[in-house]
Amino acid sequence: MTSLINASRRRFLEQLGSIGGVAGLGGAGYTLGLLDWSRVAAAAELPSDYKAMVCIFLFGGNDSYNCVIPADTAGYDTYALARRGLAVPRAALLPLTDPAHQDPLGRGFGLNPAMSALHGIFETERRLAVTFNVGPLVAPLTKAQLRDGSVPRPPSLESHSDQQFQTQTCGIFEQEPGYTGWHGRAADLFEAANGGLSTFANVSLAGGNFIQVGQSVRPYTVDNQGNLDLPVSRYAGGDLEARLRRGVLRALYASPHVLARAYGETKERALAGNAALAEALAGTAPPPGFPNSDLGRQLQTVAQVMAVAPTLGIRRQTFFCSMGGFDTHSDQNDSHPGLLRTLAEAMASFHQHAGAAGMAEQVTTFTASEFARTFAMNGNQGTDHAWGGVQFVLGGAVAGGLYGTMPDQTLGGPDDMGNQGRFIPTTAVDQVAATLALWFGVGTDGLDYVAPNIARFAADDLGFMG
């Protein structure tokens, strides 16, 4: 029987279960986490429609709190006091109106003017959701629980690599061979719907990643010319290069066919996939209307590959794109507004293309980042590593609006880990993943497989997918 959690990770979960005072963290609390993937996949209904999730990962830790900003007088004054030279002028903010979701502190919010390309989609189309205070969590966590240790927190907070891993694997907190990412796990459940053609289920336009590694389905990279590369296997069940080196040793001291077979099977799949993709793309051209930025070109290629999915027999796909440059420890105003403008323009153009192609309700794009940044400006006109932050979800099936709870932004206040504005998340990455997975077609019996910690949170559907 295939187990979702291997032995070393199970030991980690058992350690969590030994911590007193936390309901559902031990014993039966992990029963659903041990779901057999093959059983869940066999029970999944085979969809006849097409859907795609597109992740745009913002590497470096995006400064969420200069993306969505309090626009009321009291809220803005708190913001300006902490942000100092980084504060966006209040008069420049683009209002975000959502009568259905009122802020508990009575604040109103505005969008950074650099993201104006998305403002009309929020206000007029109502197809952009803003999710507040999202971050990796083991279980719901308050400041008092954080301080007394009664509820565990994810390890290695504020570490780029660790929190990238935690965000993309959604609830796995140890980097080790055998882990899977939440897009990969979702794709596992739909392998039969894709005719067993796992080559095109998870496609990366930004190289190696954690999120798309499944137990059965592996991610592949595609360049801006639509050329398929080798599987992104260095994250799948152990580093590919290390396994090939071990194969070399075995080849030297045992069978001369070990290395050739290991490499040949991988290369054969890639070459066969490349031929299939090339045939499907023959006669097509990159769709027009995308900005001439790296992210714009990534999303343009996503659009081109999505257009041939029916030809390839694909019903469910995930795509991974990325931007870098968000690690803004100094002189943030020199780079961050431009990054936000690039992000917003690329997302808006992709959304417009999906609508024109009649695919708006079949495609959902969302942003993710390893962490937000401190609410307080540091001494170098920048911000430092923090925790919970704002993410965006865009698509024709999205119920636009404001979701989750923006933290109390008082420095040293009830939501601040310390006194610099490192806010404790109130929405888990598992909850965002579960909401998207339900839209993707994952049944409620498969949510624990996709989002292993979801049973500990009050809501497994945040509502932003209608």
- Strands of 242-362, DSSP E: 316-323
Tell me the pLDDT band of 280, cut-offs 50, 70 and 90. confident
The one-letter code for the residue type at 75 is G
Q: What integer pLDDT is reported at residue 173 of this predicted model?
A: 78
How do the domains of the chain map onto residue ranges?
7-456
Q: What is the pLDDT of residues 126-166, one digit of tens each?
A: 999 999 999 999 999 999 999 999 999 999 999 999 999 99
Q: How confident is the model at residue 229 (pLDDT cuts 50, 70, 90)?
A: low
- Residue-wise pLDDT tens digits, 379-411: 999 999 999 999 999 999 999 999 999 999 999
pLDDT surpassing 50 at residue 117: yes
Query: pLDDT tens digits, residue range 356-384?
Result: 999 999 999 999 999 999 999 999 999 99
Angle at CA 276, nearest 5°, toward 271 and 279?
A: 125
Give the pLDDT band (50/70/90) at residue 243: very low
pLDDT at residue 390 in the model: 98
- Which class is 7-456 in CATH? alpha beta
Strand partners, 57: 322, 368
pLDDT at residue 235 is higher than 80:
no
Return the pLDDT at 268: 53
pLDDT, tens only, 307-344: 988 888 889 999 999 999 999 999 999 999 999 999 99
Give the span between the Cα atoms of 238 and 19, in whole angstroms: 30
Measured between alpha carbons, how far is 83 from 66 in angstroms, rounded to an integer? 9
The pLDDT of residue 237 is above 80: no
DSSP 407-430: PP--TTSTTBSSSS--BPPSEEHH
Residue 36: what pLDDT? 63
Q: Report the pLDDT averaged over residues 182-196.
A: 86
- With pLDDT > 90 as the criterion, what percentage of the chain qualifies? 66
Residue whose C-alpha is closest to residue 351's, from 304, 400, 395? 395
CA gyration radius, the chain:
22
Residue 218's pLDDT is 77
- What average pLDDT does the segment 3-22 reach? 34
* DSSP category for residue 9: H
> Considering the chain, what percentage of its residues have pLDDT values greater than 70?
77
What is the arithmetic mean of pLDDT over 181-190? 94
pLDDT, residue 228, reads: 57
Task: For residue 310, count CB atoms less than 10 angstroms from its CB and return exposed for 0-12, middle for 13-18, buried for 19 or more.
Answer: exposed
Q: Report residue 261 as tokens.
A: 């077979």
Q: Which residue has the higher pLDDT, 449 or 208?
A: 449
